[in-house]
Structure 1
């Protein structure tokens, strides 16, 4: 048992010595091939420097946006309230208006992002949640070839999208105003027509009663309470009273109810509406487009370090591989 342990210890010691000798031999081979390794090192460094000169720089400018303020959409919101003045419960709330503008703006950013990505020289415009698991605010980013270019381009795109969104909704508002004006005018015309028909019907009734009174030789009222008379018994008022009533009825204003005047008031209010797209905004800045201070790529330090490591690894591999081929002895 002791003899076996002693032999095992000797085998382990010899194995460790061989491994140590192999490692020393490996290091010696690398040391002797240091010139070749240095050449590979220099070549990779030169290639990295050349890449840094040729590669296009990438800078990212970002802006954070959210729903527009109440004041930024106040004109549109007030206009929608006026358009629904006859049915106030149907008018959109302020938050509805804010979401309508921002939702349209969000869709416009996404559409522009796809358009820029699919053009001959792709550009990168992205929109995402600024805070994870939170729908608002949103972060809009643009990648440019320089810090200033990235910031300026992002600012231009956001202003263009705002103008487009506001213009589209303003056109919708103008269309709604014109449609409402036409609808109110039709309502007023219909109410006036009905009132004229009522007035004419009343005149016809009085004229018919006058004819009957004249034929019956009734000139003076034969009843004291005219309110209880029906259409068929109006003649008992007498021809004199009926003639006076016909004259007064013909000169009376049309019998229009409150709904007519409410529609008239709504028409005046809607006709006075004016859109102000120049003071309306589809979003509000939480953070305006930033001027990036660090470029995304290429990163000089990291590129040079990786080039140096690759040069050393490839050079060492070449030296060890060459030596292995030299020492290779085919089996007899």
Structure 2
């Protein structure tokens, strides 16, 4: 055989194979160049991918600004003993971190994004294709991860990244997304805060109404008893209060003896002895009860003051300014290295693929031709 020589053990002669490939070196080189050109065309025409990255950690006190002071004021008004700035910071950041992972929130962000509208218009022509594009962006381009402390003990915070076709787009979209989530989280916290204030105010209103009803009821009972006693005193012709009661006990002594007894248990609560106070005194009492405004217990006025303070606080919360529920350990960067395509690698792979493929074809043809 001229092309391939077999040894007695039927193994292929490697030297002969190398000789054959050397004789076909021009064809192999042309094939390698062909695939290198194809790889080059792809490398320089494929859509580029650049990734902007950011690391986020819990906010500082200054980041929460007015929100933290409002929470502190709320705790002060209601005398909440276990209030802590650290707890507020931790809660807000936990809410922010949870929102970053939310798929529905990612979709909501892209749905209102001008960048996505332009991107979808340039890459799709149907609503179904637009939804698939949105799903790919959420699953593959916008990535949120929390480092594993076991693998990286020094890692902290949350890693957020976004991949786009240009470095500027990657950075801008990532910045917009983080700000979008922040605004959503703070809006939800504000709603909860205002809801808590309104709930407390409703409770205060119930307490005030109860105190008002109870106080009015007590006055009505007193007025009825005094009016009844006044009628009795008039019928009995008692103008001034009696000097004694049952012999040696005077009316003032009866009053003093009942000073610490609940009104419902007092000897005077049913009006049985009140007529002895006399017409003049009873008439003065009746006139006073009818004309003097009600005086409520101290607790009533404390509740009223707390309610007023909470109403003022609620108005301030509604006008709350810019607040950030996070702190940038590393803000979204401007990527300087392209993720894809790796042009040099693609060219090398294309060249090697051409060499290997053409060599296999040459050797395969020689083997089959000799067997035939």
State the TM-score, normalizing by the size of structure 2: 0.74
2:310 to 259, 270, 278: 270
Is residue 204 from structure 1 mapped to residue 258 from structure 2 by the alignment?
Answer: no
Indicate whether 1:120 and 2:120 are aligned.
no
Contact 1:60/1:147, CA 8 A, preserved across alignment: yes
Q: Could you list the per-position Cα deviations for residues 179-215 of structure 1 after superposition, in whole angstroms to 9, with x for gaps in the alignment?
A: 4434433432332222122122222222222222222
Q: What is the 5 A alignment of 1:1-332?
A: 22-73=13-64, 75-80=66-71, 85-86=77-78, 88=80, 93-109=84-100, 110-111=102-103, 112-113=105-106, 119-121=131-133, 122-123=136-137, 124-130=141-147, 132-133=149-150, 137-221=157-241, 222=243, 223=250, 224-225=252-253, 226-228=255-257, 230-231=267-268, 232-273=272-313, 274-275=316-317, 276-328=319-371, 330=372
Post-superposition CA distance 1:33-87 (Å, at most 9, x none) = 1111101110111011011122111111111113333343354445456556446
Distance 1:234 1:248 in 2: 16
Backbone CA RMSD of aligned residues: 3.1
**Residues 44, 343 of structure 2: 8 Å contact kept:** no
State the 1:246 CA deviation.
2.6
Range that drifts further, 80-89 or 306-315: 80-89
Judge conservation of contact 1:82–1:266 (CA < 8 Å) in 2: no
Whole-angstrom distance in 1 between the partners of 2:221 and 2:62: 53
Provide structure 2 residue ranges, at least 5 long, that are not aligned to the other structure.
Answer: 1-6, 112-129, 244-249, 259-266
Change beyond 3 A, Cα 1:261–1:136: farther
Give the number of equivalent residue pairs: 313
State the 1:253 CA deviation: 4.1
Larger displacement relative to structure 2 (169-178 or 298-307): 169-178
Q: Which moved more, 1:163-172 or 1:56-65?
A: 163-172
Structure 1 length-normalised TM: 0.82
Contact map agreement 1:199 1:255 (CA 8 A) in 2:
no
Whole-angstrom distance in 2 between the partners of 1:257 and 1:323: 111
| 2:122 equivalent in structure 1 | none
Gaps of 5+ in 1: 1-14
- Contact 2:96-2:185 at 8 Å conserved across structures: yes
Distance 2:72 2:229 in 1: 50
